[in-house]
Structure 1
Amino acid sequence: MRTRLTLRAWGVLAGSVALLVAGQLLGYPLLQVLAGAGLAVVLVSVLTVVRRPKVVVERVLYPDRVECGQPALARLLVRNESTRRQPAFVAADNAGPHQSEVAVAALAPNGVATYHYELPTSRRGPVAVGPLVLRRSDPFGLVSCRVSIGSAATLLVHPKRYAVRTATGIRQRHHFEGPVSAGPLRGSIDLRRLREYVPGDEVRHVHWKASARAGRLMVREYVDPDQPRLQLVLDTRTSALTAGQFDTAVSVAASILVVAAQSGQRLRLTTPCGTDHDVQAVSDLLDELAKLEQSATTNNPLEALPVTRDGGALVVLTGAGLADLPNLRSSYRPVVYIDLTHDEQAFHTAAGVHVIHAHSAQSAVDAWNAVPA
């Protein structure tokens, strides 16, 4: 807790001392009385404010993950657990560079009050919220008291997503027992991951060694190795995209990948700064894209791509020309190159590569939706 005198209080103190000295020198008792009154006001103000608010304050973010531009709120629950009336105070909460102030009214004994305030969601990325700062001041504005309570929380702002169609032109999804349309494909020979057992799983898929280490039943999850695959390369180099263009690229990547995941395609996300993994869940994907930052690396974003007979579709989001793209046609089909540094929207095919030029996320998505199957 930190208590301090305001500039007004220092002015009152200085004036009171001056009146006291003048009263002594000039022999005017009235000046001495005024000086005493000024000093008494400052002392009473200190005694009024110095007591810490005896309240319990809880802040909850809902939701704690939100798409860029969508509303997110903080709920402030204030409880007076004492048997005395609690004076009013101000609760200040920082959310990134933005500060919200809530005027908490006086609470009766055992009283409860709830307040809501908006959080900024205009920029993608994690937003540090808190800790809360409670402020009290006297009616004359002479003394202020500040105390920090609680812990900081994090609001994760996911990239904005646009309506896109699923990548087409890839091998059609199938299963050895017959064609299917949606849902994970299990029972094939491609091990996707280990997960916790749920009622209905095949007992023969239980992984006993992993179960012994984890202390609970773990099963192998299999998928059809021939279901459609989508490889997306997101260029994080500062030399390729500006900060604004990079945020645009992340939004386009999120739009394409989320729709592909919902349609049952297997996804892989690769960046020059070291990100290279298969996407297992949409929520994890969006969390990673929200935290993704640019890097000063000079690595070629295509260097880490595996060379296979049928790698599925390849989408490259960048602002720099990549001469190796035509050489990847033997491993990936189709190959789509999205350049986000142009002022006008354009689409053409060169050396078997679909090339999209765009200046915004919406124009890139519109061109993507127009790519022939």
Structure 2
Amino acid sequence: MRPTRRGVGVLVVALAAVAMGARYGQAGLNAVAGPLLVALLAAAVQVRLAGTPTVERDPPRRGFPDDRRQVELTVEGSGIATLTDRLPEGVAGTASARRSLPTTVTYDLTYERRGEHRLGPVDVVLTDVLGLVRRSATVEAVDDVLVYPPVYRMGGPDAFARTLAPEPEDRQAFDRLREYVPGDSLRDVHWKSSAKRDELTRQGVRRPPERRRGPRRRRGDAGHRRRDGGGRRDGGDGGPRQRHRRRTGRPRRDRPPLDSATPTGPDSSRCSP
């Protein structure tokens, strides 16, 4: 608590009157100094007994940049107070008023930047009726307000229809970025680059090279191999029997199995059953 500029002036006049009356023997100057000193004492007592007021804020609704909202402060207390609501960067408004308590303060708030912003606390400066003494206090009345990102027009209903329509291109591969033009498909917007540059950026999709396809073979072609019931492949060289017959001119005879062969020679009688 300290005197205001007006209070300092009143105090100087009162002390000067007392000093001049004592020096020059003018007792009538005490009649001037006495009421001034009493006024200062009464002002200090009034501000002291007023206490710290209570503040309640009606938080504004969410919005977008350049939107305007109204903030209402309900202040309970006594005396005369100058109220100043602290505003962060990203919102703007005239949040200061001098009122007699209790009162309700209303001011306009303009959203400037996206994000979550905190309003408050509220600085209160209490003064007496004559404005001779002041006392400062801070009321912890804090509220958060959310500002959405700006909205851009991205095209008419055709752009939305192209977004839902299937596209054969590979959406994962792109080779360049360029500025978004109204009417482009929403699928081509590169959201990470757009957030870094604060502007919409479109990705150019890389088209895969066309593949050259040769003539397809039919089942009836000579080069197509197919197994038949005898194990022969059409259009091939055939099995080992046919290759043997083409080389020698006679059919190939299969060898008998070892267990069915009849032994010959001098030891044949030993091996026979």
TM-score range, shorter chain: 0.5 to 0.7
Matched with 1:67 is: 64
CA distance in 2, matches of 1:144, 1:134: 10
Query: What letter is aligned with 2:64?
Result: E
Q: Determine the C-alpha separation between the residues in 2 that align with 1:316 and 1:293.
A: 8
Could you say if the C-alpha distance between residues 50 and 121 of structure 1 is closer, same or farther in structure 2, counting changes exceeding 3 Å?
same
Deviation at 1:27, TM superposition (A): 0.4
Equivalent residue for 1:101? 96
The TM-score normalised by the length of structure 2 is: 0.56
Give 1:148 shift: 0.7
Residues 52 and 271 of structure 1: is their aligned pair in 2 closer, same or farther, counting only changes over 3 Å? Answer: farther
SS of the equivalent of 1:139 reads: coil
Q: Distance in 2 between matches of 1:130 and 1:104?
A: 18
Give distance in 1, aligned partners of 2:197 and 2:76: 40
Residue type at the aligned position of 1:48: Q
Counterpart Cα distance in 1 of 2:129 and 2:65: 41
The 1:267–1:150 alpha-carbon spacing in structure 2 relative to 1, beyond 3 Å, is farther
Which structure dedicates a bigger proportion of its chain to strand?
1
Partner of 1:178: none
- The match for 1:184 is none
Specify whether residues 21 and 172 from structure 1 end up closer, same or farther in structure 2 by C-alpha distance, changes over 3 A only.
closer
1:147 aligns with 2:137: yes
Counterpart CA distance in 2 for 1:140 and 1:293 is 56
Cα–Cα, structure 1 residues 54 and 95, in superposed 2: closer, same or farther, change >3 Å?
A: closer
Once residues 18 and 165 of structure 1 are traced to their aligned partners in structure 2, the CA distance between those partners, rounded to angstroms, is: 78
Contact 2:79–2:129 under 8 Å retained in 1: no
1:107-256 matched pairs, under 5 angstroms: 107=102, 114-124=104-114, 126-165=116-155, 167=159, 172-173=164-165
1:269 equivalent among 160, 181, 191: 191
What are the superposed Cα offsets for residues 41-71 of structure 1, whole Å, 9 maximum, x if unpaired? 11111111123446432113221x3111111
Match of 1:44 among 42, 45, 51: 42
Per-residue deviation, 1:161? 2.6
Question: Per-residue displacement from partner, 1:158-198 (whole Å, max 9, x unpaired)?
Answer: 34434331647967446xxxxxxxxxxxxxxxxxxxxxxxx
Per the TM alignment, residue 149 of structure 1 is displaced from its structure 2 partner at its CA by 0.8
1:270 aligned partner, one-letter code:
K
Q: 1:42, 1:129 → 2: CA distance?
A: 36
Give the letter for the 1:46 counterpart: A
Contact 2:75 2:101 in 1 (8 A): no
Query: Structure 2: which 5+ runs fail to align?
Result: 209-273
Partner of 2:54: 56
* Backbone CA RMSD of aligned residues: 4.5
Q: Cα distance, 1:7 vs. partner?
A: 1.6
Q: Distance in 2 between matches of 1:130 and 1:293?
A: 31
Number of the residue aligned with 1:351: none
- Partner SS, residue 59 of structure 2: strand
Q: Could you tell me whether the CA contact under 8 Å between 1:95 and 1:119 is conserved in 2?
A: no
Identity %: 20
Aligned-partner Cα distance in 1 for 2:4–2:129 = 12
Q: Give the gaps of 5 or more residues in structure 1.
A: 81-85, 108-112, 175-225, 236-248, 273-288, 295-314, 318-324, 333-373
Q: Which AA in structure 2 matches 1:91?
A: L
Partner of 2:32: 34
In structure 2, which of residues 8, 15, 18 is the aligned counterpart of residue 17 of structure 1? 15
| Gap change, CA 1:20 and 1:114, over 3 Å in 2 | closer
Partner of 2:234: none
Give 1:72 shift: 1.5
1:316 has 2:201 as partner: yes
Preserved contact between residue 80 and residue 126 of structure 2 (Cα < 8 Å): yes
1:330 aligned to 197, 206, 216, which one?
206
**Distance between the aligned counterparts of 1:135 and 1:33, measured in 2?**
32
Q: Partner residue of 1:92?
A: 84
Shift of 1:271: 4.0
Q: 2:83–2:96: 8 Å Cα contact kept in structure 1?
A: yes
Change (3 A) 1:90 1:53: farther
Q: Which has the larger radius of gyration?
A: 2
The two structures have a TM-score, normalised by structure 1, of 0.43
- Deviation at 1:28? 0.6
Q: Is the 8 A contact 1:127 1:154 kept in 2?
A: yes
List structure 1 runs of 4+ shifted beyond 6 angstroms. Answer: none
